[in-house]
Amino acid sequence: MVTANPMAIAVLPDEATFKARLQRSGHLDDGWLDLAIDLGGVSIGRIQTFVPSGRQLSPGTFEVGIGLRENVRGQGYGREALTLLTDWLFRQAAADVVEAPTDPANVAMRTVFHRVGWTLAGSLTEFGREWVLYRITRQEWAAR
């Protein structure tokens, strides 16, 4: 986390909060789910749902974040992970909406959202930065 790209993580969590996240890894707990993206037994990134600080999510809405190691980007692993998690959230976690912010300059992530069927929903300002927000609804996911 300390060496993470600032585009991928806005603020470092305090140590106690981070340890609590690690203990619940792999389990959905109050909107939080942390998963590794695995390729042949090697962790190549992470994908998670989280509850943004200072902004309430509507019931049934999940916010997603994803990060891949630089050497595996552009090979479809992020798209596959986002597709699998989105599907799981709709099928198993009773999601109505899945959304994710990204930096407007992050063309690769914006392309992944489009390829998975998400649409641009607007922009927001958090952590002193402007973000674009992508989302997909249960109905849109079922129709794709």
Q: How far apart are CA 50 and CA 63, in angstroms?
A: 6
13 vs 107, higher pLDDT: 107
Which pLDDT value is given to residue 11? 61
pLDDT band at residue 55 under the 50/70/90 scheme: confident
Whether the per-residue pLDDT at 6 is higher than 50: the answer is: no
pLDDT band at residue 26 under the 50/70/90 scheme: confident
Which pLDDT value is given to residue 64? 97
Structural domain boundaries in the chain: 15-143
Instruction: Name the burial class of residue 105, with classes exposed (0-12), middle (13-18) and buried (19+) by CB atoms within 10 angstroms of its CB.
Output: exposed
Please state, rounded to an integer, the average pLDDT across all residues of the chain. 88
Which pLDDT value is given to residue 15? 72
Range 38-68 burial, b when 16+ CB lie within 10 A, else e: eeeeeebbbbbbbebeeeeeeeebbbbbbbb
pLDDT band at residue 53 under the 50/70/90 scheme: confident
Which pLDDT value is given to residue 93? 97
Class of domain 15-143: alpha beta
Which pLDDT value is given to residue 31? 92
Token pair belonging to 114? 């489009």
Q: What pTM did the predictor assign?
A: 0.84
| Pairing between β-strand 129-137 and β-strand 119-126 as defined by DSSP bridges | antiparallel
Whether the per-residue pLDDT at 1 is higher than 50: the answer is: no
